[in-house]
Amino acid sequence: MAAVLLLRCGVRGGRRALRECETLCSRRCLKTSHKLYSAVYDPNEKTFEKLLIANRGEIACRVIKTCKKMGIKTVAIHSDVDANAVHVKMADEAVCVGPAPTSKSYLNMDAIMEVIKKTRAQAVHPGYGFLSENKEFARRLAAEGVTFIGPDTHAIQAMGDKIESKLLAKNAKVNTIPGFDGVVKDADEAVRIAREIGYPVMIKASAGGGGKGMRIAWDDEETREGFRFSSQEAASSFGDDRLLIEKFIDNPRHIEIQVLADKHGNALWLNERECSIQRRNQKVVEEAPSTFLDPETRRAMGEQAVALAKAVKYSSAGTVEFLVDSSKNFYFLEMNTRLQVEHPVTECITGLDLVQEMIRVAKGYPLRHKQADIPINGWAVECRVYAEDPYKSFGLPSIGKLSQYQEPLHVPSVRVDSGIEQGSDISIYYDPMISKLITYGSNRAEALRRMEEALDNYVIRGVTHNISLLREVIIHPRFVQGDISTKFLPEVYPDGFKGHQLTDRERRELLATAASLYVAEQLRSQRFLGTPRIPIAKSKRSSWELSVHLGDGIYPVAVSKDGSSFSVEVDGMKLNVTGEWNLASPLLSITIDGTQRTIQRLSRDASGKTSIQFLGTVVSEGQEICVIEAMKMQNSMIAAKTGKVKAVHCKAGDTVGEGDLLVELE
């Protein structure tokens, strides 16, 4: 029995869309070893006739796909700028709820409630973000007799309040970060408290902030010293020398447990997700399972997560997040009472469709599985693909139209959850996520190899994206070894992300590739529809002496052609480059001395200058030449080609209009 992977299928609504989506999904299914774990859709199990999705983008598309398989009609809501969005096209009905700003559309409860009444939707799935954890929205739905696909208002309230949730966690015997919330009197008491808590500890000012009056202590001596310095700093900085002590989590990992509970008192933990690769406290790469957890720690975390869910009478899919230290001690962070962005990796290793399970639970059905039935079957990795510039603080948003877009679905065991298509706009109004790229393997190494291949084969044009950062993360030795924490990005790239740093071998490969591509283009330009443009002028040329510009260097390269292969001499070494050289395709699969590479030919100007994406990083283009502020947002203007700035026709603070000449390049 197959566990269906829910792939992106940008097709229109209706029966044809369902057939195409089913065909596509069936081609990309992952085999499991036990029939219980397949996502089975029972047509005789009645749930809802019509469901409204109070969201947009990829998560709205994700919910619609499961609803179609369950025979549920769907209603999409959208803002005016999302009128042609993919989720709008996929749904059976779509209604505009307001203008672009979220406060006037996707957060507009009055407008959404009106659509629910108009379309007679029986249930609402909130996705994530927006109104997904809004207890008032859930309350209003309940008052109208509409089912909220999620927990009840009590659970949303309890887990949404950080103080209340921590108290509930303590009462449920869930590990919380230990600490002493009273005022520490002196150094001796500080040592006593630190010993009770367990080293290392954080000593910090009660009235502190900005890192002042804070010290980390690893033993009694450092505690005494830390007490003295912290109290002095606190008094001078805040006029208040009171101190607190709590457990310091060194090199923490962010590991979360997926839970699933019904209205009959049953609850399961569906294993963990490793979410430690983050920037600005937002996850970038996730995987399941974690390389760090042993079976005992996994079970302990799962059982505590279920205990918390039962304590608040939770019913739906939810996630309990933990911080885990280097000794595998784990501490409750928070509970998210909704479907998580990274839920696909859990679906891949368990075979469960979490959206389907949420809908079943909301209708009142009991869970179909027992804890012993939940497997860890293989390994899954998810990369969040964003329209962001990774060279700026690991990712600042980019806007624009997707002029070319091609998902790497031809790569085995790849799933892409997205809500965009070629021609879609990445606007300033919403999250700049392009997609969630997921790969699956029988083990972690296989999943990572497939992810590397998928990233190389992902074609995104028209916006800046973070593919280069994602690729560098998953091939970095520390990541491959599982040596990660929430500090991974700033530790590995202390001066910021700079793109892939070529080794000598990779530099030679790139030079050989560029030279071979140039020659292939020259030969193609001499032919028309497979026939020489001037039949009488037959060229017998088979060798070329070239100079290739790379960075600040100029490298002599000798190329000779033999059939579809090129022999390229670089640095006195010969490399054999072979490929089909289909120059009409954005992707080129080539082999260099037996090593397969997928490159992307991004552009070629009239002078023959070519931009190539090699090992995830764009060569030559993309230097920022000025910044324009529009709609209170700063927008980078990027150089379309490599060159020198000839003249600047504006200055900081000037108002510029469409068509104004700002910068000249030469």
Q: Which residues are catalytic?
A: 334
Q: Which residues contact 383 (CB under 8 A, 6 or more apart)?
A: 284, 285, 436, 437, 438, 451, 455, 470, 474
- In sequence order, what are the beta bridge partners of 663? 648
Question: Rounded to whole angstroms, how far apart are CA atoms 402 and 426?
Answer: 8
Q: How many CA atoms lie within 13 A of 426 on its CB side?
A: 29
DSSP-derived letter for residue 429 is S
CA dihedral over 311, 312, 313, 315, signed as positive or negative: negative
Reference 357, options 345, 347, 372; nearest CA is 347
Of 340, 327, 211, 346, give the one whose Cα is nearest residue 282.
340
Alpha-carbon span 39 to 24, nearest angstrom: 16
Q: Which of 29, 470, 456, 151 is nearest to 283 (CA)?
A: 470
The kind and range of the H/E element at 137 are helix 135-143
How many helices, marked H, and strands, marked E, lie in the chain? Answer: 17, 39
Question: Cα separation of 653 and 257, whole Å?
Answer: 49
Dihedral angle computed from the Cα positions of residues 451, 453, 454 and 458, in that order, rounded to the nearest 10 degrees: 140
Three-state DSSP at 616 gives coil
How many angstroms separate the Cα of 506 from the Cα of each of 143, 299, 511, 580?
63, 44, 9, 21
Task: Using the structure block, give the residue that is written with the tokens 């997921």.
Answer: 438
* CA neighbours closer than 13 Å in the CB half-sphere of residue 40: 12
> Cβ neighbours of residue 105 under 8 Å, at least 6 residues apart?
77, 78, 79, 80, 97, 98, 99, 111
Q: How far apart are the first and last CA of the chain?
A: 62
Question: Is residue 237 exposed (0-12), middle (13-18) or buried (19+ Cβ within 10 Å)?
Answer: middle
Q: Which two tokens stand for residue 371?
A: 């804890």
Pure H helices in 254-372: 295-311, 343-350, 354-363
Distance CA 79, CA 379 (A): 37
In the three-class reduction of DSSP (H, G, I as helix; E, B as strand; rest coil), residue 331 is classed as strand
Beta-sheet strands, E only, within 122-221: 123-125, 147-148, 179-180, 201-209, 212-217
* Cα–Cα distance measured from residue 590 to residue 582, given in angstroms and rounded to the nearest whole number: 11
Q: Which distant-in-sequence residues (6+ apart) come within 8 Å of 309 by Cβ?
A: 259, 261, 267, 318, 320, 335
Helix/strand/coil for 299: helix
Considering just the CA atoms, what is the radius of gyration of the chain in Å?
Answer: 28
Query: Which pair of tokens denotes residue 40?
Result: 């089975």
Whether residue 57 contacts residue 427, with contact meaning beta carbons closer than 8 Å, is answered with no
Neighbours of 384 (CB within 10 A): 22
